[in-house]
Amino acid sequence: MHPIEALERYWNHMSFRPLQEDIITAVLNNEDTFALLPTGGGKSICFQIPALIKPGICIVVSPLIALMQDQVNSLKQKGIKAVAITSGISYSELDTSLDNCIYGNYKFLYLSPERLQQTLVQERIQRMNVNLIAVDEAHCISQWGNDFRPAYKSIVTLRELQPSVNCIALTATAKSKVVEDIIESLDFIDPKVFKASFKRENISYQVIKTEDKNYHLEHILNENKGASIIYARSRKATVTISDYLLSKGFETTYYHGGLTNIQKKERLHLWTTNQKPIMVATTAFGMGIDKPDVKSIIHYNLPESLESYYQEAGRAGRNGNDAVAVILKKNIDEDRLKGQFLSALPSIDAIKYVYKKLCNYFQISYGEGQNTLHQLNFKTFCHIYQLKTTLTFNALKILDSNSIISLDQRFNYRTTVQFKVSNTAIFKYLESNKSQNKAIKALLRTYGGILDYITKINLELVANKAETTIPKLLEILKDLERHNIIDLNIANTDSEITFIKPREDEKTINPIIPIIELQQNLKKEHIQSVIRYTNNDTICKSILLLNYFDEDTTEECGRCSICLSKSNSDASVLKTTIKEQILKELEDKNQSSRELLNNIKCGQVNLLDALTFLIESEKITITATNTYKLK
C-alpha cells in the first residue's frame, strides 16, 4: 500500500500536509526520524501510516492517558486494531492485552513510559513483531524540555529489546537544545530531522492590557464570529466566565476536570458541532482535538510558559483561515502568575511530607504499594492533614511528573452494590416501581455476581444501558438502599492515584531531588519568558515567538497587536492625536477605557498604548473604580 492510498482509505484526505510525506518516507526507509511539527501539523499520521503499511505492530509511547485513549478509539473507528495499556488495569487484563499484541494482529500498542519498566511488559515486547517505535510528546525525554518526565529516559530500553527497529520521535514544541538531547537520549543513528517552521501566518497574536477583561472578551468574540476557546486558570473561573457570557447572549459552555465523563462528551459534542461555539476551559482542553474552524483562542489569564501558550494558540485557524490568539492582561496578573507557579513551588521537605501523608492516607506499608490504584478526594486529604491546597497539589504534580505516582484528575464515583433480596423479591418490588425497571435490569444483566457479593459498578456504563444519567441512576440506587433492596457504598472522588514506586519514604524521593531543583529553575525561566513576551511593546509578537524557539527571523507579521499599532502610515501622529483626545475627554469627567473607546473611535490597541503612556508620564491616573482621571 502506498502512503497516499492509506491516507485516502483511512483518513479520507487526498493530500498530505507539509513535511508529512517526507517524514513517512524516511520512516518507511527504516531511518531514525525526528519530527518537529507545530500544533495542527498532523504528527500522528507520520507514524500511523508507516505502521499500517509495514507488517507487524507499532509501539507508541505517550505520557497522556486521555490522548492515548482518544487515538485508540479513533483507530478502532477506522477498523484498525489498537490497544492502550494505562494505569489501573489488573494483571490479568495486562497479560491478555500483551498476548493480543503478539497473536491478535494488532497494529498499535499505546503505553506510558512507566510501563516499560515492568518485567512482564519487556518480556512480551521481545516476542512481538514490532515494525516501529513512536515516541510522542518527545520533549518529555529532555531535562531541558517543558514537562520533563524521568521515566521517558527508560524508552531507550525499547531500542535494546528491539535493536533492529527504527524509531520516530515527535513533538510540537522544542528548542534546539531539547532536540539535541532527545536524539542523544533515544540513541538515534544518522537521524533524519524534519522541522516545520513555527510561523503561523494566519494567526494574529495579540496582547491586550486592560483592567476590564470582560469588555474586551465580548469585543473579541463579536469581532471574530465562530468557534472559540477561552482558557481560564481554575475550574471556578470557567463557570463564572461562561455564565457571564451566557448572560450577554453568547452560546457558550464550560469544560474542566471536575465534570463526569458523560458531561465532558456532551459538552465536547456541543462545541465541535458549533451548537455551543464558545468553550470556556482549563488548559487541559484541546489536546488531541482537531477542530479546524476555531476562530479565536483567548487566554483570560497569563499562560505558564511560551511552550504551552504556543500549543494552545495553535489550535486556532487550522483550516488556514484568519484567526486570533489573544492574551488579556491586568496589571496584577504578573504577581498572580508568580504567586501561583513560583511562590507555590513546594520545597523538597514539603514534597517528602506530602508523599509520606499520602502513603499513610492509603495505609501503605513500607516497601509496599507498587502499582496499586487508589481513589482520592483531594479536599478531604488536605483537610485531614491540614495541608495547604495549592502547595499540596503542586507536590502531587511533581511526584507525578517524576514517576513516583500517577495522578489522574477525574470526577469519579467509586460505587459498590450488592442485592440483599432474591430475584423474586426484586421483581415484586418492580411491580410497584416500574420507573426503575431499566436501571435494575441493567445492573443484573451487566454484573452476574451482584446478587451474591459486593460488586464495583461502572456508573457511566449502567446509566448508558438504562438510558438515563448518572445523577438519576444515583437517585435510583439510593432509593433501593432506603427500601432495603441493596447495600450501597458511594465514594465521591476527584482523582485517581497509582503508586508507581514502592513506599520507601525519603529513599523514594532523594534520587529525584536534583531533577526537581532543575525543573523548578526552568519553571522560573518559563514564567519570566511569558512576562517578557507580554511586556514587550516594540517587537512583533510573531518574531518574539519564533526567536524564542530558535527560529531566526526579522520579518514582521503585519497582523499582531504590535504590527497593527504601527500600521498607520503616520503612526506617531495618530498616537499623539489619541493622547490629546484622551486628555480632552477627561477634562469633563472621569471615564473608563470602554467609554473612551466609544467616544474617541480609535482602535483598542492604540487607545491602550496611549493610556499606558499617559499613566507612565503621570498625566492621568486610575481611580478605585477603574476609571481614568487627570492628575
Sequence spans of domains, the chain: 3-195, 203-331+548-557, 339-411+497-523, 421-484, 568-630
Q: Quote the pLDDT of residue 570.
A: 45
Residues of the chain with pLDDT under 70: 87-88, 146, 288, 410-413, 567-575, 601, 603
Q: Which of 532, 507, 514 is nearest to 148 (CA)?
A: 514
Q: What is the pLDDT of residues 470-513, one digit of tens each?
A: 878 988 999 999 999 999 988 777 788 989 899 999 999 999 99
How far is residue 437's CA from residue 460's CA, in Å, rounded to a whole number? 17
Q: Which of 285, 298, 281, 296 is nearest to 242 (CA)?
A: 281
Angle (CA) 466 468 469, round 5°: 130
Tell me the CATH architecture of domain 339-411+497-523. Orthogonal Bundle (1.10)
Q: Quote the pLDDT of residue 569.
A: 41
Top CATH class, 203-331+548-557? alpha beta
The CATH number assigned to the domain with range 3-195 reads 3.40.50.300
How far is residue 246's CA from residue 332's CA, in Å, rounded to a whole number? 26
Q: Do domains 203-331+548-557 and 339-411+497-523 have the same CATH topology?
A: no
Q: Write down the pTM of the prediction.
A: 0.74
Which CATH entry fits the domain spanning 568-630: 3.90.550.10, 1.20.1270.10, 3.40.1550.10, 1.10.10.10?
1.10.10.10
Q: Quote the pLDDT of residue 470.
A: 81
Q: Quote the pLDDT of residue 346.
A: 92
Q: With beta carbons less than 8 A apart as the criterion, state whether 324 and 228 touch.
A: no
Q: Quote the pLDDT of residue 567.
A: 64
Q: Quote the pLDDT of residue 412.
A: 64
Q: With beta carbons less than 8 A apart as the criterion, state whether 298 and 238 touch.
A: no
Per DSSP, helices labelled H in 282-388 are: 306-313, 333-338, 348-361, 378-384
How far is residue 628's CA from residue 631's CA, in Å, rounded to a whole number? 9
Kindly give the interhelix angle for 571-588 and 604-616, rounded to the nearest 10 degrees: 70
How far is residue 535's CA from residue 529's CA, in Å, rounded to a whole number? 10
How many Cβ atoms sit within 10 Å of the Cβ of residue 536?
Answer: 14
How far is residue 329's CA from residue 299's CA, in Å, rounded to a whole number? 9
Q: With beta carbons less than 8 A apart as the criterion, state whether 238 and 255 touch.
A: yes
Q: Quote the pLDDT of residue 341.
A: 82
